[in-house]
Structure 1
Amino acid sequence: MTDATPVDDPGLADAREEALALTDRILSARDAYYGDDTAVVVDDATYDGWMHRLQHLEQLHPVLQGQDSPTQTVGAAEGSMFAPVEHAERMLSLDNVFSPEELAEWCQKTQTAAGGAARWLTELKIDGLAISLRYENGVLTSAATRGDGRVGEDVTVNALRVAGIPQRLSGVGHPAIVEVRGEVFIPVAEFEELNSLQAALRDRVVDETRARARVFDEDKARASAQRRFAAFANPRNAAAGGLRQQLDKKSGLELEAGLARLASLRLYVHGIGAWADPPVVTQSEVYALLSEWGLPTSPFFATPGDIDGVLAYVEHYGEHRHDIEHEIDGVVVKVDQLDLHEQLGATSRAPRWAIAYKYPPEQVNTTLLDIVVSVGRTGRATPYAVMAPAHVSGSVVRQATLHNQDVVKAKGVLIGDTIVIRKAGDVIPEVLGPVVELRDGSERAFVMPAECPECGSPLAPAKEGDIDLRCPNTRSCPAQVRGRVEHLGSRGALDIEGLGEVSAAALTQPLVPATPPLVTEAGLFDLTARDLFPIDVVVREAETGLPRLLEDGSVDTRSPFRRQRHAPAPGEPQSASKPDPRFDPTGPFDGDETSILSAAASGLLANIAAAKSKELWRFLVALNIRHVGPVAARALAQWFGSVRAIREASREELAAVEGVGGTIADAIIDWFEIDWHQQIVTQWVAAGAQLATPGHPGPGAAATTGGVLEGLTVVATGALEGYTREGAQEAIIAAGGKAASSVSKKTDFVAAGPGAGSKLAKAESLGIRILDAAQFRVLVEQGPDALD
């Protein structure tokens, strides 16, 4: 998001806050999609709802759209344990439509843009993992995931075990280089067998533990088995994790499970990426050729003659979606002619010659067991429906937000009702209403509590006229402290790896000990190894704040920072299983604190220590000042150079900073007037946190003394080698320039890499000088005079 954002308009300030929250959710969902195959952070309908809401906010307020916005990117490939593979051609995502009317409108617009010549190809949208297969002279040289669209992960070793991926293509006359695009999936039947195997392996773990343990604890054994062989959430996540597993690090039962998952994978190819001179002219001919080469193509594609035929295809499979061997979430509609693909082009993330039609989410009935109230980071008290488990759109649903007490009344639901739920929009999931005909008189009305369920403080509106009730105990309410600690560890704040929802709950709301390590976030940088022992915690849902439930319905509890004891391995003496007092919270402690910590705990302490020297703007975001997100934080940090200078500034001085304005200025002043807020700053500084930019000359000096880009506006777009999107912006700012997110006549330079899209085209039309990555580096380090 741009750093030059005037926010005197409160509507814009609220839009920024919502956009930042949506961005964090979307990025977290992307990470979870590739990193966790047993949990569903968000379903497709919800993810799409978030994306469309973010797009809507950016359309209303264009200044919110930066080059790092999820709406401008495809995915994420950073932090991978796999080797990177650069795609010869970008792997794009698809834009979505959600109604037949939207689809018909898109087809008509595309037909017009194609000069009336477009013909259509329709195919089922497989709910799986996108893959790119690179063949050189007919031999497979690499298989890679989509990644960020430009660079993916090398999964060749596992891909060779997938049925349908040939190591050598059939036939002759293969191109020197061709990239084939497809989707890896697990058929529904195989998925059910896979979860049956997971259940069998869990039983085997329990049996083996029973056989070798001197003192057998059934509950602990089953909990261990559940962690090792949890049921997969849905076929898509199981497929993604299966293709990305590292078999060379597995042994025993884990290896057996991993091989079984690979054996369940299937592939359908659906197009080409890089191909210098294809001997065919349509997408449907591509499918025929790929099939001749021995690559599996979907039997469900069609080439309808007109838009009515496209709509008929969509309607047919909407009625028969459960008759297909694999899960689908919609239909992909493409222009069949390849020459029109080039003519129609693409945006930075999606082609203009294809669209994905998403089917409406399914509705199911379940029982409303209870309505409980959860308190979030800002103190808002939100009612949540607790339901009998229901399988909706590929995941098991147990909880759903009801927003506030007025929404509960408007929906007319009673505790004990049979209710209708669905996955739709930006709600996870949505309660539509009760099935009144099924009431038997035992149902009861929900009563909004008068006190905070977390700390007992009286709930009240923040201001007159507010519908939402809030807990006023902002300093000590455990739920609010937990939310703030999780926030300050997020990638938009201090970006502390390991400080997520589980560790934040462990540090602020543990079952054991009675007094949490963090009463407020002020003590974050004072944490020691001793503070992390012993801790047991109830894991809470990120969205609701309610306890997370395991597959069997029990509450998920963990000891996240403690190294776990294990029963002796086969061949070891039974004495190896004797209790070790270092791992017994009730016994004496003897030894170095670090010896009892898990690797994750030791890593967390190291990451917290490293965060003391993070950039000033990150600390400003971490302080949880209302409306101060990364954009305003960067502007404040650049202008003032220290938290102290910001605190001492007047409202007029704060509001005058470009990208701040009156609303944020008031929020900053209000925040510093609270004594325990001041204590956070004082304690962080005392612990060694660097709440000032080294060498900064003082308020306003950065803008007047400038740097090699003083007075210049630069737009960085696309993938610039050697820079992340955020890093390119920071390099411009550090050099004294203005890092803009859009190209205009006031733009001096545009640094463009692969995937630059419309910004590059606009720069060319305006005659603005365009730089590649090497020239951009010269610009920010030496200034414009050093350019050739």
Structure 2
Amino acid sequence: MAEQAAGDTVGEIDVEALSEDQARAELERLAGLLAQANLAYHTEDAPEISDADYDALKRRNVAIEERFPELKREDSPSEQVGAALAEGFGKIRHAQRMMSLSNAFDDDEVRDFDRGIRRYLGLAEDAPLPFTAEPKIDGLSLSLRYENGTLIQAATRGDGATGENVTANARTIDDIPQQLEGAPELLEVRGEVYMSHADFEALNERQEARGGKPFANPRNAAAGSLRQLDPEITRARPLKFFAYAWGELSAPLAETQMGAIERLAALGFQTNPLTRLCDGPQDMLDHYARIEEQRATLGYDIDGVVYKVNDLALQARLGFRSTTPRWAIAHKFPAELAWTRLEAIDIQVGRTGALSPVARLTPVTVGGVVVSNATLHNEDYIAGRDASGTPIRDGKDIRVGDWVQVYRAGDVIPKIADVDLSKRPDGAEPYAFPETCPECGSEAIREEGDAVRRCSGGLICPAQAVEKMKHFVSRSAFDIEGLGAKQVEQFYRDGWIAEPAEIFTLRERYGSGLQQLKNREGWGEKSTNNLFDAIDEKRKIELGRVLFSLGIRHVGEVVANDLARHYLSWSAMIAAIDAAR
């Protein structure tokens, strides 16, 4: 689910401090927020809030309901699974309801889960109680119904009771067998449709090449691909499927959860190879840690680990709550943190000449967004110290090849929060920050008291020249319609503009015949004339915008407007500067 700050939605008042009227109003607010979030996530495949915020809203709702049970709403979010069905699909009523899972967010909650099951079953603390532990795939739930070994229908989870009929689409997925040998007469297989990182990246490249909007993450891409009204579109999308559960059966698959998963694999389904049998909570937590370590290198998205009681007879005794099984729980990963590999450190040169190091990462999903780059701030940050020399990250430096923890919150640019030295590859060398500009070779100087090293090349540096011109035409500066960052890069690359002033001579130099410009990809006679007209319209603009457009260090939008209000005109300001010399 996409980004929105938790404080905007979760609420600041402590549940214990709520009055009855406040609690009633808060439950109404939460019901509305969660209904909209469910619709956006499950039906429209366009989440509006992050998974962490969604989970926080649900926990707050449950906490209020537990304190004021008499206020529980008939449409309580705690009684709902999924969301309403999208239009355009037929409906399939599930023979057995498709449940969601309760969540655990820390080790203590996992231990509480184990203790609760033992208490329910009357088992001693040291009595054997095996669990399975498997990665929680971040995709779209799907139920497949086979009769006499033939796939006859496929349905999404929908609202848990009724799903969308996506049978034709499911038949296009290679991981889903059309025929089974040796299966029970009636078999309903449940699992997750997902998309690998590599396939997601290739799909987004194709989307952008066609001028389409890229998908935010593989989960959205998989869900949107499966729920196409035209199965041929689904066929062209690289979807995969992991089987991990079942619904209605004419005969048991096995006596244990692990045995049933092995049976599904034998029938031809893809099952997750990281599924393990665990002996108690500590073994479960150890496997959780092992899976989390591999998260970035799996090639597909997971957002936690699911624990299930292995004995199916005990599962039957434990039964279900209204929307979740008592015998299973999802141990979620921290929403804003993930570990991944640092593949390279690149240096970007900005409009003021600042050399900014950027971490190139093995892509990993953090907070619902695929992250492949992170800021490294400056050379001190890479070396494990702040500008005053005080150690940060316990003094651990950052090296190419390191296993690093990526942090992302809301719209904050991802950054590296920690380094796992135990996984540092042999021969990894400390990063040597460049002392010359990688773009033009000019000396890169770090002035005393400045945390940043800067290229001294000025406009002879191509990176600075392009970034200064991008700034010059930005929204708060000249804001020339039709001349954005992409066009500036193209015109600079073609040798048409080398500095901002040359923008205003484009018509004079290329406008006579128009051929040189309108023959370029994306340009025609009309768009070319529109650009020249837009440039002419900006030959006179407010003084504050002019000052901001120059990209002078320490002169941002606010300072530029303050100077404009003080001097009122360019000539008055220049006169004051001359007088001060």
Residue identity matched to 2:207: Q
* C-alpha contact 2:89 2:229 (8 A) present in aligned 1: no
Q: Who is 1:246 aligned against?
A: 229
Secondary structure of the corresponding residue to residue 16 of structure 1: helix
* C-alpha contact 2:114 2:280 (8 A) present in aligned 1: no
Q: Who is 1:305 aligned against?
A: 279
- C-alpha change, 1:432 and 1:86, in structure 2 (3 Å) is same
* C-alpha contact 2:174 2:240 (8 A) present in aligned 1: yes
Q: Name the CA distance, whole Å, in 1 between partners of 2:122 and 2:18.
A: 45
2:209 to 200, 205, 208: 200
Q: Residues 237-264 of structure 1, C-alpha deviation per residue, up to 9 Å, x if partnerless?
A: 111111111116xxxxxx6x65432xx1
Shift of 1:164: 0.9
Q: Name the CA distance, whole Å, in 1 between partners of 2:258 and 2:100.
A: 20
Residue identity matched to 2:205: S
- C-alpha change, 1:391 and 1:337, in structure 2 (3 Å) is closer
Superposition TM-score, scaled by structure 2 size? 0.56
- C-alpha change, 1:392 and 1:282, in structure 2 (3 Å) is closer
Q: Name the CA distance, whole Å, in 2 between partners of 1:278 and 1:162.
A: 26
Q: Who is 2:28 aligned against?
A: 20
Q: Name the CA distance, whole Å, in 1 between partners of 2:253 and 2:451.
A: 70
Residue identity matched to 1:154: N
Shift of 1:281: 0.3
- C-alpha change, 1:10 and 1:34, in structure 2 (3 Å) is closer
Q: How does 1:471-620 map to 2 (within 5 A)?
A: none
Q: Name the CA distance, whole Å, in 1 between partners of 2:75 and 2:57.
A: 16
Residue identity matched to 1:235: P
Q: Name the CA distance, whole Å, in 2 between partners of 1:243 and 1:51.
A: 27
* C-alpha contact 1:128 1:239 (8 A) present in aligned 2: yes
Secondary structure of the corresponding residue to residue 303 of structure 1: strand
Answering whether residue 108 of structure 2 is matched by residue 113 of structure 1, we say no
Secondary structure of the corresponding residue to residue 246 of structure 1: coil
* C-alpha contact 1:135 1:142 (8 A) present in aligned 2: yes
- C-alpha change, 1:363 and 1:314, in structure 2 (3 Å) is closer
- C-alpha change, 1:353 and 1:83, in structure 2 (3 Å) is same
Residue identity matched to 1:189: A
Answering whether residue 313 of structure 2 is matched by residue 361 of structure 1, we say no
Q: Name the CA distance, whole Å, in 2 between partners of 1:155 and 1:434.
A: 41
Residue identity matched to 2:22: D
- C-alpha change, 1:431 and 1:187, in structure 2 (3 Å) is closer
Shift of 1:187: 0.8
* C-alpha contact 2:406 2:416 (8 A) present in aligned 1: no
Q: Where in structure 1 are there 5+ consecutive unaligned residues?
A: 1-8, 203-228, 249-254, 365-389, 398-419, 444-551, 554-577, 579-788
* C-alpha contact 2:34 2:54 (8 A) present in aligned 1: yes
* C-alpha contact 1:43 1:393 (8 A) present in aligned 2: yes
Shift of 1:429: 6.6
2:133 to 122, 145, 153: 122
Q: Who is 1:655 aligned against?
A: none
Residue identity matched to 2:106: S
Q: Residues 603-640 of structure 1, C-alpha deviation per residue, up to 9 Å, x if partnerless?
A: xxxxxxxxxxxxxxxxxxxxxxxxxxxxxxxxxxxxxx
Q: Residues 202-238 of structure 1, C-alpha deviation per residue, up to 9 Å, x if partnerless?
A: 2xxxxxxxxxxxxxxxxxxxxxxxxxx1000111111
Q: Residues 686-743 of structure 1, C-alpha deviation per residue, up to 9 Å, x if partnerless?
A: xxxxxxxxxxxxxxxxxxxxxxxxxxxxxxxxxxxxxxxxxxxxxxxxxxxxxxxxxx
Shift of 1:108: 2.2
Q: Name the CA distance, whole Å, in 2 between partners of 1:442 and 1:279.
A: 63
Q: Name the CA distance, whole Å, in 2 between partners of 1:429 and 1:303.
A: 39
Q: Residues 545-598 of structure 1, C-alpha deviation per residue, up to 9 Å, x if partnerless?
A: xxxxxxx99xxxxxxxxxxxxxxxxxxxxxxxx9xxxxxxxxxxxxxxxxxxxx
Answering whether residue 155 of structure 2 is matched by residue 144 of structure 1, we say yes
Q: Name the CA distance, whole Å, in 1 between partners of 2:411 and 2:114.
A: 31
Answering whether residue 213 of structure 2 is matched by residue 230 of structure 1, we say yes
1:167 to 178, 189, 193: 178
Shift of 1:441: 7.2
Secondary structure of the corresponding residue to residue 214 of structure 2: coil
Secondary structure of the corresponding residue to residue 168 of structure 1: coil
* C-alpha contact 1:131 1:145 (8 A) present in aligned 2: yes
Q: Name the CA distance, whole Å, in 2 between partners of 1:152 and 1:197.
A: 30
1:47 to 19, 42, 54: 54
Q: Residues 476-528 of structure 1, C-alpha deviation per residue, up to 9 Å, x if partnerless?
A: xxxxxxxxxxxxxxxxxxxxxxxxxxxxxxxxxxxxxxxxxxxxxxxxxxxxx
Answering whether residue 95 of structure 2 is matched by residue 95 of structure 1, we say no
Secondary structure of the corresponding residue to residue 287 of structure 1: helix
Q: Who is 1:179 aligned against?
A: 188
Shift of 1:289: 1.1
Secondary structure of the corresponding residue to residue 312 of structure 1: helix
- Bigger RCO of structures 1 and 2 (CA < 8 A, at least 6 apart): 1
Q: Name the CA distance, whole Å, in 2 between partners of 1:391 and 1:242.
A: 19
Superposition TM-score, scaled by structure 1 size? 0.42
Q: Name the CA distance, whole Å, in 2 between partners of 1:230 and 1:342.
A: 46
Shift of 1:49: 1.0
Q: Name the CA distance, whole Å, in 1 between partners of 2:365 and 2:302.
A: 16
Q: Who is 1:344 aligned against?
A: 318
Residue identity matched to 1:113: Y
Answering whether residue 17 of structure 2 is matched by residue 30 of structure 1, we say no
* C-alpha contact 2:51 2:335 (8 A) present in aligned 1: no
Q: Who is 1:260 aligned against?
A: 236
Secondary structure of the corresponding residue to residue 97 of structure 2: coil
Answering whether residue 122 of structure 2 is matched by residue 134 of structure 1, we say no
Q: Name the CA distance, whole Å, in 2 between partners of 1:51 and 1:140.
A: 36
* C-alpha contact 1:85 1:153 (8 A) present in aligned 2: yes
Q: Name the CA distance, whole Å, in 1 between partners of 2:315 and 2:416.
A: 48
Q: Name the CA distance, whole Å, in 1 between partners of 2:415 and 2:222.
A: 34
Q: How does 1:653-672 map to 2 (within 5 A)?
A: none
Shift of 1:395: 2.0
Matched residues, number: 355
* C-alpha contact 2:169 2:234 (8 A) present in aligned 1: no
Shift of 1:54: 0.9
Q: Who is 2:76 aligned against?
A: 69
Q: Name the CA distance, whole Å, in 1 between partners of 2:234 and 2:168.
A: 13
Secondary structure of the corresponding residue to residue 34 of structure 1: helix
Answering whether residue 233 of structure 2 is matched by residue 191 of structure 1, we say no
Q: Who is 1:286 aligned against?
A: 260
Q: Name the CA distance, whole Å, in 1 between partners of 2:216 and 2:52.
A: 16
Q: Name the CA distance, whole Å, in 1 between partners of 2:310 and 2:18.
A: 47
Shift of 1:165: 0.5
* C-alpha contact 2:136 2:305 (8 A) present in aligned 1: yes
Shift of 1:432: 12
- C-alpha change, 1:247 and 1:96, in structure 2 (3 Å) is same
> Once superposed, what is the RMSD of the aligned Cα atoms?
3.6
Secondary structure of the corresponding residue to residue 141 of structure 1: strand
Answering whether residue 273 of structure 2 is matched by residue 276 of structure 1, we say no
Q: Name the CA distance, whole Å, in 2 between partners of 1:299 and 1:289.
A: 14
